[in-house]
């Protein structure tokens, strides 16, 4: 956000000065524990996506439903985050994580006293930063690597669209009487999807931009455009054989009702995104209030004076 709370065009872009936020947890846990969570989630979601494809008669109907679109995006997010976080961790090593975090803390909450930094959280002077970790005048803000931009894009979509899928499905579309694998698929695709993305919101250090609701909004426009073209081409619901992809919600043979549903859901997009943003701000507040001092000391103690300059891979 711009100075004084004014909105800038750059606030809409996927760029951030601290790339480590996309590769590490918010909390002071071991990096390899975090990577283990990333691997587990990626493999778990990938397994359920493969199961969903395997039980279908053919792959065509899979692309009709928003549920399948969104679970695929969630799986892509989990896999891309796992790969990019693992790559970034091993490509940079512990020292560069220390440098980037130190510079980030210096620029956000520190006060320059010669070559020292005073923590506004703990109130005492921290050890001096290595020369290569001190910010230089006129330094250009580093650009976020493209693979982290992809991660951030998918994260923004999932953070907003997954709860909408959950709310709409269980309030309007869910049918009773399912059991076994069908019930398990329902729970994973329409309930645990939201649980997983919110668990990731609370665990990871990935930031949430208040105006980044534009990305799930565009994602929704893409899906609605697809369904309209699909209807004009004579496409039917592969399960029911009717024109309604989602009864009472998305049926282009009843355009007035469908447009009303789309408008209401569009209005819900920024509201749901604000809930995710609130969760992010709460996470940061708790970290700054109770864990910031501990993380700063750990970062300082694991550094050394031979720390190289930060170079994003």
pLDDT single digits (tens) 211-226: 999 999 999 999 999 9
Q: Is residue 313 in a domain?
A: no
**pLDDT at residue 124 greater than cutoff 90:** no
Residue 293: its pLDDT value, please? 66
Q: Is residue 1 in a domain?
A: no
Q: Is residue 309 in a domain?
A: no
**pLDDT at residue 47 greater than cutoff 70:** yes
The structural domain count of the chain equals: 1
Average pLDDT over residues 67-80: 97
Q: Is residue 167 in a domain?
A: yes
Q: Which residue has the higher pLDDT, 38 or 107?
A: 38
Q: Which residue has the higher pLDDT, 209 or 297?
A: 209
Residue 243 and residue 234: Cα distance in Å, rounded?
A: 9
Domain interval for residue 212: 15-302
Q: Is residue 43 in a domain?
A: yes
Residue 113: its pLDDT value, please? 33
Residue 57: its pLDDT value, please? 66
**pLDDT at residue 182 greater than cutoff 80:** yes
**pLDDT at residue 102 greater than cutoff 70:** no
What mean pLDDT value characterizes the chain? 81
HSE-CB at 88 with a 13 A cutoff on CA atoms is 26
- For residue 27, give the DSSP letter: S
Q: Is residue 308 in a domain?
A: no
DSSP secondary structure letters along 36-67:
HHHHHHHHHHHHHHHHHHHHSS-SGGGGT-HH
Q: How many CB atoms lie within 10 A of CB 132?
A: 16
Average pLDDT over residues 263-272: 96
Q: How many CB atoms lie within 10 A of CB 114?
A: 6
Q: Is residue 311 in a domain?
A: no
Q: H or E stretch including 118?
A: strand 116-118
Which residues are CB-neighbours of 168 under 8 A, at least 6 positions away?
Answer: 246, 249, 265
Q: Report the alpha-carbon angle 104-145-116, nearest 5.
A: 15
Q: Is residue 80 in a domain?
A: yes
């Amino acid at each position: 956000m711009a100075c004084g709370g004014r909105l800038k065009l750059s606030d809409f872009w996927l760029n951030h000065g601290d790339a480590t936020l996309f590769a590490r947890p918010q909390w002071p846990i071991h990096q390899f524990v975090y990577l283990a969570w990333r691997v587990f989630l990626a493999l778990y979601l990938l397994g359920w996506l493969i199961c969903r494809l395997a039980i279908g008669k053919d792959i065509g109907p899979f692309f009709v439903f928003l549920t399948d679109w969104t679970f695929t995006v969630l799986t892509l997010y989990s896999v891309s985050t796992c790969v990019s976080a693992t790559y970034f961790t091993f490509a940079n090593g512990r020292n560069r994580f220390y440098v980037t975090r130190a510079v980030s803390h210096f620029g956000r909450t520190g006060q320059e006293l010669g070559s020292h930094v005073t923590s506004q959280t703990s109130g005492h002077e921290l050890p001096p930063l290595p020369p290569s970790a001190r910010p230089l005048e006129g330094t250009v803000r580093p650009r976020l690597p493209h693979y982290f931009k992809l991660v951030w894009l998918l994260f923004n979509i999932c953070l907003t669209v997954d709860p909408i899928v959950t709310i709409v499905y269980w309030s309007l579309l869910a049918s009773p009487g399912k059991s076994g694998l069908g019930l398990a698929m329902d729970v994973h695709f329409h309930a645990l999807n939201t649980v997983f993305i919110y668990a990731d919101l609370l665990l990871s250090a990935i930031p949430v931009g208040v105006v980044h609701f534009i990305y799930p909004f565009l994602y929704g426009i893409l899906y609605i455009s697809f369904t309209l073209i699909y209807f004009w081409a004579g496409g039917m619901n592969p399960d029911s054989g009717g024109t309604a992809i989602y009864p009472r919600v998305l049926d282009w043979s009843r355009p007035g009702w469908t447009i009303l549903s789309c408008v209401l859901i569009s209005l819900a997009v920024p509201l749901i995104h604000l809930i995710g943003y609130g969760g992010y701000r709460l996470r940061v507040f708790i970290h700054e209030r109770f864990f910031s001092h501990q993380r700063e000391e750990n970062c300082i103690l694991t550094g050394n004076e031979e720390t190289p300059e930060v170079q994003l891979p």
